[in-house]
Amino acid sequence: MSNKNFNVEEIAGGVPVKMWTKGVPVEDAAREQLANAARLPVVFKHIAAMPDVHLGIGATVGSVIPTLKAIIPAAVGVDIGCGMMAAKTTLRAEDLPDNLAGLRSAIEQAVPHGSAPRQRGRAPGRDPGGWENPPEAVDQAWATLVDDFNALCEKYPRLEKTNNRKHLGTLGSGNHFIEVCLDEAGFVWFMLHSGSRGVGNAIGTLFIDLAKKDAERHQKNLPDMDLAYFEEGAQYFGDYVRGVSWAQKFAMRNREVMMANVIAAARTIIRKPFESHVEAVNCHHNYVQQERHFGEDVFVTRKGAVSARRGEMGIIPGSMGARSYIVRGLGNPESFESCSHGAGRVMSRTQAKKQFTLADQAKATAGVECRKDAGVVDEIPMAYKDIDAVMAAQKDLVEVVHTLKQVVCVKG
């Protein structure tokens, strides 16, 4: 059934799934996962599938799931508050050095990243990718978070042992990145992608396990145990809301600290004085919050999706070597005022490593100062959907404000 710019798939025993996937491939396993979520009794109205939708754990990445008086922890996931930040500067392309290797190196030194222990300022082997001695800016950001975190730890002491403060202002690995980009007018942008790091993972894992234990007693007919949910009034519901809200604040602060360090590092390489944050966006794409839609107050879980209220700014990154977009939301009610969070994978990391070579990676990232080794072949652009097709499929969700192309890319 076709309706406007989305297709509607009716689900037996569940709510419909509205799919903004015209011209974009969707794997059968992802469709099945969407149908499973649509059959949950707490899901409200319909599920919205974004054009980057693909198989996830429990719930599909690239889905918007509204629930009435309940939240599905595994739909939010373990990278709670993962998202993007971008800042436009007054620099232009000609202000960048001819050789960008020094700029990339400066950024890599300024922001702990990856999963291997690093030199000065990095963590010892058991705390990879973090600070050994967090700088003052991290301590200042942590001061805004620590009281609520301590209150959470009083009830769940295992969270105290996480890499919380030491991961604040750090990138991580996988598909997390820092980029220097040029927009359509030649202005320089800094852009990065990360979330709540180890502490967010611990909070997500803790409550997903608790939800599954609850489900063994109260939700025996779940189509997938990863869809176990907490209802309002349940034992852990309030604690989960507090935990996930805290992790989302941590993720936001994490990106802010990194961005400040990236810009400071750039000033050591680029001698021309410049202003940053001429335009700035900081948005989650893995999170849950309470919103009002179709006359009801509901919890909206965006798992790999971005809020796109009318006039709201967002970021839709392409893959390594592809274009990215700064967008403005159109406030489409049918998508619960949401859009995609990126291009979306078309193959697993393992499959990408088997299918593509180092030569393929070098060719796909020609002109970009970035890693071109075996450790990032799984992030090759061909492992992702075509970002242009993704954007065309959601033309009724957002309008493009800026088109960015990276010239430097730092991967964990």
Quote the tokens at residue 317.
């990154």
CA dihedral 321, 322, 323, 325 (to 10 degrees): -100
Q: Which residue has the tokens 């799984």?
A: 378
DSSP character for 58?
S
The H or E element spanning position 257 is helix 237-269
Which residue out of 46, 54, 284, 341 is catalytically annotated?
341
How far is residue 395 from each of residues 51, 84, 128, 216, 331, measured CA to CA in Å?
Answer: 11, 20, 41, 42, 12
DSSP character for 4?
T
User: By the 8 A CB rule, do 85 and 280 touch?
Assistant: yes
CA distance 49 to 303: 10
Catalytic (active site) residue 113? no
Question: Among 188, 113, 175, which Cα is nearest to 320's?
Answer: 175
Q: What does 71-115 look like in DSSP terms, one character per residue?
A: E-HHHH-SSTT-EEEEEEEEEEGGGS-S-THHHHHHHHHHS--SS
The count of residues in the chain is 412
Alpha helix segments (H runs only) across 15-168: 28-38, 73-76, 101-110, 136-143, 146-155
- Residues sharing a CB contact under 8 Å with residue 154, sequence separation 6 or more, in sequence order: none
Please list the active-site residues: 341
